[in-house]
Amino acid sequence: MPSLSRHLHRLGAQLPDGPRRRVGWVQARLTKRARLMHRRARQTRSQAQQARMRLSYEAHHRLLANQASRRRLVARPPVLSDAQQRVLGELREHGIAFAHFDQLIGDSSLWQALRSDIDAFVRETEGDGSTRPEDPTAPRKKKHLISRSLKREKELESRGVSPPFPRLEATDPWVRLALAGPIVDTVNAYRGMCTKLYNMDQWYTVPVRSDQERVGAQAWHRDPEDLNVVKVFVYFSRVDDHAGPLEYIRGSTDGGRYGHLWPWSITHGVYPSQEELLSQIPESDVVSATGGPGTIIFCDTSGLHRGGFATRDPRILSVNTYLSPAAYIARRAPRRFRVEPPGDIPDAARFALT
């Protein structure tokens, strides 16, 4: 179609004004038709991809991978401490639970390694101009959140490294945190199966003006990764109401009292308007996850939540995402890291990396 359009353009240039206008009209119609066909073809491909993902997820969720993973957990059930049992109870009741690094993990050398590494990330981020304020007259297209994994990928791509996913050692402090028994065992007990570690990242949320509009994940939404996806956040800065804390609707997971409102979907995130949400959910069920460094938040983000709307201070945290095998198999995006499991780690941690 483009070659025919170019041919008509050259032909029209050789004709008098009247015929030239008619040729131009035909050319415009052909161009419009070609764009419409291209748009429809793209929509059809997208719908087919979503259908395949939905079918794959349902098959593995109900019959295949998740059932095998449940049997795996039953064969080797985790032994939970009192702190883990408390977190598990809160997570089951509300969809969100709080702990502190000292009480749940209690590994001071690991904390110092994490602290040292994320401090270097903060210095680098603040030093390269990434945290400069946005132009207040420009429309905001996405939340001003600096993802370390994406930053690392861009650096590797700029050096011609392919694929752009780093290979991490099992001794890396972020790998040690993500595979820590008190975290993995609690997540697995909540899901009733062994889960996969899907993502690890560190975030720097840049403050914006309080009168700016919330965009992206700063608005209320459900994550599409899994029916009960669990994300574990660890704060490395004090996060108060001015630093964009995570906010969560208690009881909004599947089966909860608000689970039927704007129900979860694996093919796309669910974003109700704030006005609709507040008209049906009382403010007493909105949790603001404030806390100091070392605060750990377990959260089922298929429930309704929002965060990252910092207006005064930056929010510095890490986030790990744990999915069921069904969701891991069905997802379109790969992991953003690679780890070779050592021979001496627990079975649950090894499974999380496979």
State the CATH number of the domain containing residue 94: 2.60.120.620
Whether residue 133 lies inside any domain: the answer is yes
Does the pLDDT of residue 20 top 60, yes or no? Answer: no
The 10s digit of each residue's pLDDT in 145-162 is 899 988 887 777 777 776
The predicted structure's pLDDT at residue 337: 87
Please determine, for residue 137, whether its predicted confidence score (pLDDT) is greater than 70: no
pLDDT of residue 128: 84
User: Is 59 within a domain?
Assistant: no
Q: Are residues 109 and 148 in the same domain?
A: yes
Residue 131 resides in a domain: yes
**What is the rounded CA–CA span in Å between residue 25 and residue 241?**
58
Helices 17-62 and 65-75: crossing angle, nearest 10°? 30
Q: If pLDDT is split at 50, 70 and 90, which confidence band does 26 have?
A: low
Residues 85 and 160 reside in one and the same domain: yes
Same domain, 114 and 250: yes
Mean pLDDT is lowest, of 53-57, 107-111, 133-137, 325-329, for 133-137
Q: 58 in a domain, yes or no? A: no
Residue 320 lies in a domain: yes
pLDDT greater at residue 278 or residue 315: 315
Q: What is the Cα–Cα distance from 328 to 190, expressed in whole angstroms? A: 17
pLDDT score for 27: 65
Same domain, 129 and 258: yes
Instruction: Read off the pLDDT of residues 193-221 as tens digits, 9 standing for 90 and up.
Output: 999 999 999 999 999 888 888 988 999 99
Q: What pLDDT score was predicted for residue 131?
A: 80
Sign of the C-alpha dihedral, residues 229, 232, 237, 238? positive
Average pLDDT over residues 271-298: 95
Q: Which of 12-26, 110-124, 188-202 has the lowest mean pLDDT?
A: 12-26
What would the mean pLDDT of 5-18 be, rounded to a whole number? 57
* Domain tally, the chain: 2
Please indicate, yes or no, whether residues 215 and 318 belong to a single structural domain of this protein: yes
Instruction: Give a yes or no: residue 55 inside a domain.
Output: no
**pLDDT confidence of 23, banded at 50, 70, 90?**
low
Q: What is the mean pLDDT of residues 96-114?
A: 98
**113 and 28 within one domain:** no
**Closest-CA residue to 317 (of 228, 222, 171, 200):** 200
Cβ contacts of 16 within 8 Å, gap of 6 or more: none
Same domain, 234 and 332: yes
User: Does residue 51 sit within a domain?
Assistant: no
Predicted confidence (pLDDT) per residue in 324-352, tens digit: 999 988 876 778 888 988 888 999 999 99
Residue-level pLDDT at 144:
81
Residue 174: C-alpha distances to residues 110, 202, 238, 257 (Å):
9, 9, 20, 35
Q: What is the pLDDT of residue 159?
A: 76
pLDDT at 46: 58
Q: What pLDDT is attached to residue 326?
A: 94
Same domain, yes or no: 11 and 151: no
Same domain, 40 and 128: no
Give CA–CA dist 31/81, Å, rounded: 66
Structure confidence at residue 305 (pLDDT): 97
Is the model more confident about 164 or about 109? 109
Residues 259 and 232 in one domain: yes
Q: What is the mean pLDDT of residues 94-109?
A: 97
The mean per-residue pLDDT over the stretch 274-290 comes to 94
pLDDT value of residue 141:
52
Q: Which domain holds residue 311?
A: 64-353
Where residue 40 falls among pLDDT bands split at 50, 70, 90?
Answer: confident
The whole-number pLDDT of residue 150 equals 85
Average pLDDT over residues 266-280: 90
pTM: 0.84
Residues 242 and 288 in one domain: yes
Q: Are 316 and 204 spatial neighbours (Cβ–Cβ below 8 Å)?
A: yes
pLDDT for residue 50 is more than 90: no
Question: Average model confidence (pLDDT) for the chain?
Answer: 87
- Co-location of 168 and 110 in the same domain: yes
